[in-house]
Amino acid sequence: MIIGGVSLMEWEKFKANPHDNWWANFVRAGRIRTQQIRAVAPDLPVTWLVYRPSYIARAKQEKRDLIPFIDSVGQAFNCKIIYFDKTSEVLDYLNRAPHRATLKVSGFEFFGHSNKACWMFDYSSLMDSASKCWLHEKELKQINRGIFTRDAFIKSWGCHSGEMFVKSWNKATGTRMWGAIGKTQFMTDELPLLAKEGARWLR
């Protein structure tokens, strides 16, 4: 799972529809999904790739260190937490993690901000309403084909991924990804929902 970064409220609080009022938007969703997986696969290796800079920046606003809270999820649900600062680290882990030649990826999910063309690992964290770290559809060809199992469950829980990103993903990797047509809403006690009538999931 990739856990994207949250926005800074110093910018978002002035908007009509601010993002990430709660710092744990994406962490909570990842925890809920991990708990679901653990209920049916107690011993399945699960790894979180977490965009560290956003949580370091947000911690200053929260006036508390957020990293221990994220680490506690790994401890509670027996999942490995890996922090990354740039996109190349995500690609490197996917392609060259220990035992990747024999241990293929059977599930891959993204919790974070996105638009139709890319996953934004940070958004409104380093710059207002902009991203400095992302995975664009044109970069997907850097993912090695064959690292996923044939029946891998792959889903982007962010907004708009079903409008372009999923098609580019399939072309680059040969696997199918679920993505949203329209916006998604991250919830407190359940997985993200489609935000508006007419929105739908596409694979």
Q: In this predicted model, what pLDDT tens digit does every residue of 50-109 receive, in sequence order?
A: 999 999 999 999 999 999 999 999 999 999 999 999 999 999 999 999 889 899 999 999
Residue where the block lists tokens 């882990």: 93
Please report which confidence band the pLDDT of residue 126 belongs to, taking 50, 70 and 90 as the band edges: confident
Count Cβ atoms below 10 Å from residue 50 Cβ, excluding itself. 26
Say yes or no to pLDDT of 16 above 90: no
Residue 47 contacts residue 34 (beta carbons within 8 Å): no
Say yes or no to pLDDT of 30 above 90: yes
pTM, full prediction: 0.96
With 0-12 / 13-18 / 19 or more C-beta atoms within 10 angstroms meaning exposed / middle / buried, residue 121 is buried
Beta bridge partners of 2: 49, 110
Please report which confidence band the pLDDT of residue 184 belongs to, taking 50, 70 and 90 as the band edges: very high
Say yes or no to pLDDT of 128 above 90: no
Of residues 13 and 50, more confidently modeled: 50
Say yes or no to pLDDT of 129 above 90: no
Say yes or no to pLDDT of 34 above 90: yes
Q: What is the mean pLDDT of the chain?
A: 95
- Return the pLDDT at 11: 79
At a CB cut-off of 8 Å and minimum separation 6, what does 63 contact? none
